[in-house]
């Protein structure tokens, strides 16, 4: 798959793509990332990509023309149409289900906004999807773009050391969309705190039941909406419901 990223700060992506386990996805081109700077497509000696907003107000607004010309170049290089994604506070919150869809797609063009915003005419005519990381504002779309790329890259075959790792992640359908359970490692005693007995029992059924109960308890406490969704979909067993009642 290929992601073309329109950004005024392409230098931010080089260390990101060369670090950590997900670098395997970029090195192998399982996830190909091509960077485009709208400033390269701006006109005039100063290569301006922003101007003051009509109607007044603080900040600057990214101009439609450099972005549109840059986008045309990216789409031409791809050789086929592609979704155009803008990271924006009004976008749909990014969830695991969407990440899975993107990870199985041919990719997209990711538009990283800056300043006070982007000329709405570009958004209305060129953007097909808008995505938000949450109810807060960042200084640009680069961090959300990296978040999407990282989430997609780690789902590619061979990227993680253990193929089962992402299957046990929070929100994964294999865990019925629940949050993950606590994890422990050596030493067995640390600062006067031990490891829960079931994890030391060697009894796999008991271990899995403990982990399931922990996932249920944590999800019920932190994200009751996920419990409701799992219950509505019929994904909770009688044992699950019993464990939840004990936690009330």
Catalytic residue selected from 65, 100, 150, 169:
169
* CB-based contact 179:226 (threshold 8 Å): yes
Q: Which of 154, 211, 212, 215 is catalytic?
A: 154
Cα–Cα distance, 206 to 36 (Å, whole number)? 52
Q: Look up residue 114 and give its DSSP letter.
A: B
Q: Has 196 been annotated as catalytic? A: no
Contacts of 217 (CB under 8 A, 6+ apart): 243, 244, 247
Query: Does the annotation mark 101 as catalytic?
Result: no
Are the CB atoms for 65 and 59 separated by under 8 Å?
no
Rounded Cα gap, residues 117 and 140, in angstroms: 9
The reply to whether 169 belongs to the active site is: yes
Q: Catalytic residue among 27, 48, 89, 92, which? A: 89
Q: If DSSP codes are grouped into helix, strand and coil, which group holds residue 89?
A: strand
Q: What is the 3-state secondary structure (H, E, C) of 153-194?
A: HCCCCCCCCCCCCHHHCCCCHHHCCCCCCCCCCCCCCECCEC
CA dihedral 28, 112, 147, 125 (to 10 degrees): -90
67: left (phi over 0), alpha (psi -120 to 50) or beta: alpha
3-state secondary structure of 61: strand
Catalytic residue among 116, 150, 180, 209: 116
Tell me which residues are annotated as active site: 89, 116, 154, 169
């Amino acid at each position: 798959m290929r992601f073309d990223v329109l950004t005024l700060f392409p230098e931010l992506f080089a260390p990101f793509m060369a670090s950590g386990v997900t670098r395997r996805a970029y090195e192998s081109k399982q996830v190909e990332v091509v960077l485009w700077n709208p400033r390269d497509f701006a006109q005039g000696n100063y290569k301006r990509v922003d101007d003051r907003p009509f109607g007044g107000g603080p900040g600057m607004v990214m101009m439609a023309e450099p972005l549109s010309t840059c986008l045309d170049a990216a789409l031409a290089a791809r050789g086929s149409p592609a979704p155009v994604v803008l990271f924006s506070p009004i976008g749909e919150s990014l969830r695991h289900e969407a990440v899975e869809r993107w990870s199985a797609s041919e990719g997209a063009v990711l538009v990283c906004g800056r300043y006070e915003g982007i000329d709405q005419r570009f958004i209305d005519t060129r953007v097909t999807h808008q995505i938000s990381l949450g109810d807060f504002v960042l200084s640009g779309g680069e961090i959300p773009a990296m978040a999407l790329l990282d989430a997609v890259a780690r789902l590619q075959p061979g990227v993680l050391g253990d193929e089962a790792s992402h299957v046990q992640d929070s929100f994964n359908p294999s865990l019925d969309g629940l949050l993950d359970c606590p994890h422990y490692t050596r030493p067995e005693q640390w600062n006067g705190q031990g490891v829960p007995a079931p994890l030391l029992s060697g009894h796999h059924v008991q271990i899995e039941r403990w982990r399931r109960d922990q996932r249920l308890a944590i999800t019920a406490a932190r994200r009751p909406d996920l419990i409701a969704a799992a219950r509505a979909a019929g994904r909770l067993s009688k044992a699950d419901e019993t464990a939840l009642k004990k936690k009330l």
